[in-house]
Amino acid sequence: MPDTLLIIEDEPLLGSELREEFAEAGWDTVLAVDLAQAERLLFAGNLDPLVVLSDMNLPDGNAMDLLEKVRAKKGVPGEWIFLTAYGGVPESVRALKLGAFDFLEKPCEPERLQLVVAGAARSARAQRRLHDEERACGSRYTPAAFIGRSPAAQEMREMLQRLARVPFSALVITGETGTGKGLAARILHHGGPRAAGPLVEVNCAALPHELMEAELFGHEAGAFTGAKGRRRGLIEQASGGTLFLDEIGELELDLQAKLLKAIEDRRVRRVGGDRELEVDLQVIAATNHDLESRVAQGAFRADLFHRLAVFRLAVPPLRSRKEDLEDMLPLFIGEFNARSGQRVARVPPTVWRRLAAYAWPGNVRELRNLVERCVLLADGPVFPERWLNLGDAPASVRPPDAAMADGDRLCLPLDGSLGLDEMERLILSEALARNADNVSLTARVLGTTREKLRYRVQKYGLKTSD
């Protein structure tokens, strides 16, 4: 279907020539001879042109007045190009301020006009694509996207709905890995007052310390080896919207101090730069650590924690709301059916029982991965039990003692009855039990750090003495 070009021109000969010329180039051209006719087409006729090519001065007024009216009433009005025989600086300045794509003086060479209209079409398509993506995100990321019938899920939806209405400056989301902290952050952004601005996501654990500062704050050309050009930092890119700092507990102390200053002052200085740039953003931080404990240990700055924790939102683990499996499982099955062309429709009672009995250390992410695996490997409409890999196989499949202790050894079956996470959980549980549930002592025995062990203890919900 050809794109629509609206031509507003009061000279009959020129208007006809433009209409025929652009129709031959593949446009669906519509001609209006004055502003009143153009306004009827745009509003009463619901005409949605990709590009508008308009004379500036028409018998019934100035076309920039119509552009101003269209900008106020229509979300994505397309690009406007103005033609005039009496061009001046004030008119061109006003046209550009109103968002016109270009301002050309008559007579304009046909080749140049074709190039300008083609450029305006590319710009308009890009704007519409961005608008459609924003609208899709706005409808997808609502509080209702946090699925579940449990009291914990209902409370989360209520909190998300309430927080989305508040223009908060900073918020901390806590919860175990895979519970949906990222989903909560997107709901708060797309449902809040900054939905029209960008959402910039940063995983603080994904980049080495040497690169993180340049990523967050940007850099000038030549600031360090390999910095060939200027780069806007992620904080600067998030201005007008939301900065989502995932795994904030992994950020190094020196970067925590610089981040605090940027949030407090609403200014950033690029690496190697000599001036500060203003930023306006809200900050959402997420962590699976207990930040208050890390503050007490000196691993996290107290001033940054209190600056971020204006509001706190705790996402509950899946094991505390297992009744929500009844809502999540059909949804994920439908999603992966659509992606893979499968037709899985029935979940056997034995599958439901095993899902309900499982501890879900990986939470909703683990459930989603499980459903993807089972749907892709299904041979028919029945959800296959054999691909669950939950580590809790029935007695007929799983040996009576899945993990058998023998002195200082722990024997684990490699017959597929235990998954990797379940093996790790059993090893840690046995090691803690042999060391009186003392994390520090167990960490030394296992040759790891206390922090790494505590992370896994929290991940699997194990009990400790400290």
Query: How do the domains of the chain map onto residue ranges?
Result: 4-137, 143-316, 319-377, 404-460
| pLDDT (0 to 100) of residue 241 | 93
Average pLDDT over residues 2-30: 90
Average pLDDT over residues 123-144: 74
Lowest mean pLDDT: which of 176-180, 224-228, 240-244, 372-376? 224-228
Average pLDDT over residues 217-241: 82
Q: What topology does CATH give the domain 319-377?
A: Helicase, Ruva Protein; domain 3 (1.10.8)
Q: Per the structure block, which two tokens stand in for 260?
A: 């605090």
Where residue 58 falls (left for φ over 0; alpha for ψ -120 to 50; beta otherwise) is beta
| pLDDT (0 to 100) of residue 138 | 52
Domains 4-137 and 319-377 share a fold: no
Lowest mean pLDDT: which of 132-141, 168-177, 289-298? 132-141
Distance CA 288, CA 455 (A): 8
| pLDDT tens readout for residues 398-419 | 433 445 555 567 787 775 556 7
For residue 395, pLDDT beyond 60: no
Q: How far is CA 42 from CA 7, 16, 261, in A?
A: 12, 20, 49
* Most confidently predicted of 122-136, 210-224, 225-239, 345-359: 345-359
Domain 404-460 has CATH 1.20.120: no
- Strand 242-246 to 267-268 pairing: unpaired
Average pLDDT over residues 204-210: 84
Confidence of residue 362 (pLDDT cuts 50, 70, 90): very high
Is residue 246 within 8 Å of 259, Cβ to Cβ?
no
The whole-angstrom distance between residue 355's C-alpha and the CA centroid of its chain comes to 29
SS (H, E, C) the chain: CCCEEEEECCCHHHHHHHHHHHHHCCCEEEEECCHHHHHHHHHHCCCCCCEEEEECEECCEEHHHHHHHHHHHCCCCCEEEEEECCCCHHHHHHHHHCCCCEEEECCCCHHHHHHHHHHHHHHHHHHHHHHHHHHHHHHHCCHHHCCCCCHHHHHHHHHHHHHHCCCCCEEEEECCCCCCHHHHHHHHHHCCCCCCCCEEEEECCCCCHHHHHHHHHEECCCCCCCCCCCEECHHHHCCCCEEEEECHHHCCHHHHHHHHHHHHHCEECCECCCCCEECCCEEEEEECCCHHHHHHHCCCCHHHHHHHCCEEEECCCHHHCHHHHHHHHHHHHHHHHHHHCCCCCECCHHHHHHHHHCCCCCHHHHHHHHHHHHHHHCCCCECCCCCCCCCCCCCCCCCCCCCEEECCEEECCCCCCCCHHHHHHHHHHHHHHHCCCCHHHHHHHHCCCHHHHHHHHHHHCCCCCC
| pLDDT tens readout for residues 237-259 | 999 999 999 999 999 999 999 99
Q: Smallest Cα–Cα separation from 403: which of 433, 427, 375, 377?
A: 427
Q: What topology does CATH give the domain 143-316?
A: Rossmann fold (3.40.50)
Is residue 360 within 8 Å of 319, Cβ to Cβ?
yes
Lowest mean pLDDT: which of 3-7, 66-70, 236-240, 314-318? 66-70
Average pLDDT over residues 177-188: 94
| pLDDT tens readout for residues 253-310 | 999 999 999 999 999 998 888 888 899 999 999 999 999 999 999 999 999 999 999 9
Residue type, 251: L
- Strand 277-278 to 267-268 pairing: antiparallel
| pLDDT (0 to 100) of residue 394 | 40
Is residue 353 within 8 Å of 385, Cβ to Cβ?
no
Confidence of residue 422 (pLDDT cuts 50, 70, 90): confident
Phi and psi (nearest 5°) for 256? -60, -40
High-pLDDT (> 90) share of the chain, %: 51
| pLDDT (0 to 100) of residue 397 | 36
Lowest mean pLDDT: which of 265-269, 384-388, 452-456? 452-456
High-pLDDT (> 70) share of the chain, %: 89
pTM of the shown model: 0.62
Confidence of residue 423 (pLDDT cuts 50, 70, 90): confident
The whole-angstrom distance between residue 236's C-alpha and the CA centroid of its chain comes to 17
For residue 391, pLDDT beyond 80: no
| pLDDT (0 to 100) of residue 326 | 94
Average pLDDT over residues 78-96: 76
For residue 187, pLDDT beyond 90: yes
| pLDDT (0 to 100) of residue 319 | 93
Distance CA 409, CA 411 (A): 6
Average pLDDT over residues 25-42: 91
Mean pLDDT of the chain: 86
Backbone CA torsion sign across 391, 392, 394, 398: positive
Distance CA 66, CA 15 (A): 18
Q: Smallest Cα–Cα separation from 322: which of 289, 377, 351, 364?
A: 364
| pLDDT (0 to 100) of residue 464 | 73
Strand partners of residue 6: 30, 52
The whole-angstrom distance between residue 8's C-alpha and the CA centroid of its chain comes to 41
The CATH number fitting domain 4-137, selected from 3.60.15.10, 3.40.50.2300, 3.40.640.10, 3.30.70.1560? 3.40.50.2300
| pLDDT (0 to 100) of residue 207 | 83
